[in-house]
Amino acid sequence: MPVEEVKLAAKFKVDLTDVDEAVISEIYRLFEEYREIVDELLEVATRNHITSFVKLYHAKYRELRQKYPMLPSMYIVNACRHAASIYKSFIKSRRLGMCERDKPTFRGRTIWLHRRVFRLDVEGWRASIAVHGGRWILLRLLHGECHERFRGMEHGEARLMLRDDGNLYLNVSFSQTVILPEPDANARVIAVDINENVIAYGNDDFVERLETNEGIIRTRYFLKRRRIRSKIRGRELQRRLLEKYRGREWRRVREIYYKAAKEIIGKAKEIGGTVIVMEDLKIYKEDRSSKELNGRIHRWSYRRFQRILEYQARLHGLNVVYVDPRNTSSICPVCGGKLNPSQNGRRLVRCQRCELEEDRDVIAVKNLVKRYYEEYASAKTSQTSF
């Protein structure tokens, strides 16, 4: 059976009651310097178009080390990583037209903590963090029942987050080994087909349609942004509003995604399914035309949903596989004949050969299921998942 590492994130609120003033000011100082460093790195990255951590590190580490000799060096290393990652995602979102700024910014609210500057005691619910001069400060962590599962788990890196309201959080990544069911010819599967407004899922026995209305939400926000661009004077205000609505849009879509993932996993469990089948969207890249920006944004968004579902599914002990999605909406899942739009309904398609008539989404789901069995009946265990 395939064994995989699933990453889990734990978020702890830091208990700041009765904490010494000196400790608080150490924390603020850490945030301040880390921000200065990341800002400086971002400027270098932008000026020289550096997206690689290694290059950024070689360009600036020594200089920053001299400038901040009392700061544990791992903060500078991680700041290089952090800045490279901010710059990379800035470029990506600008390419997709999702970003209104002309250079990346860092709000300075997050510090990436390297394992060497941070210790965690899950039993005692405490964390220590290295600060100036190599001293360590101790933080008490507030915890609830949901944190109990992390006892005894291996932890990795962490992030220290300072909220606008002054609250401090520690996000720690843990990894858990899960044993996933084999994706083979005997597995019961649930295939998931993602469209703009509908996520359809099921297998040969049933197909459910989830109305997400994501496309409608996106259009609404698109119109809102267009209004802001034409009506609001003042670049800074315009930029702020645009970003506010971007954030709101993404949060709404993400909420829909999580709900959908939960429903699909629940159904899989209910029917004894063990494998989730999705479209391998990378395959579309081969025949994409560069003009087709809209399609690219959709695929990017679908990919985000797939990642959420994949992660949640694995946590629940379900395997996830991706299959070739080409022609899954244009070929009959029964006889392989060509499908044409039907006269009897807008969403219906009809097979020329065997006269099957079905909803488009149902067709896509059944074809994905069929493709899974074609691939995994022969290949069996040689490949498991991505």
Residue 70, interface with Zn ion (CB under 5 A)? no
Question: Which of 2, 108, 181, 337: binder of Zn ion (CB under 5 A)?
Answer: 337
**Judged by CB, which is closer to Zn ion: 178, or 334?**
334
**Judged by CB, which is closer to Zn ion: 54, or 354?**
354
Q: How far apart are CA 308 and CA 115, in angstroms?
A: 26
* Amino acid code (one letter) for 323: V
Residue 362, interface with Zn ion (CB under 5 A)? no
Q: How far is the CB of 328 from Zn ion (least distance, A)?
A: 14
Positions 225 through 244 that interact with Zn ion (CB under 5 A): none
Q: How far apart are CA 353 and CA 232, in angstroms?
A: 57
Query: Could you please report the per-residue DSSP string of 171-225?
Result: EEEEEEEEEPPP-STT--EEEEEE-SSEEEEE-SS-EEEEE--HHHHHHHHHHHH
What values do phi and psi take at 306, rounded to 5? -60, -40
Q: Which stretch binds Zn ion (CB under 5 A): 18-26, 71-79, 199-207, 326-334?
A: 326-334
Residue 321, interface with Zn ion (CB under 5 A)? no
Among the listed residues 88, 87, 63, the one whose alpha carbon sits nearest the alpha carbon of residue 76: 63
Q: Which stretch binds Zn ion (CB under 5 A): 42-50, 107-115, 351-359, 364-372?
A: 351-359
**Judged by CB, which is closer to Zn ion: 58, or 353?**
353
| HSE of 69, CA atoms in CB hemisphere, 13 A | 1
Instruction: Spell out, one character per residue from 261 to 290, where the chain touches Zn ion: x when CB under 5 A holds, - when not.
Output: ------------------------------
Across-strand partners of 168? 162
Residue 332, interface with Zn ion (CB under 5 A)? yes
Q: 3-class SS at 74? A: helix
Residue 351, interface with Zn ion (CB under 5 A)? yes
Q: How far is the CB of 359 from Zn ion (least distance, A)?
A: 15
Name the residues that contact Zn ion, by CB under 5 A.
Answer: 332, 334-335, 337, 351, 353-354, 356
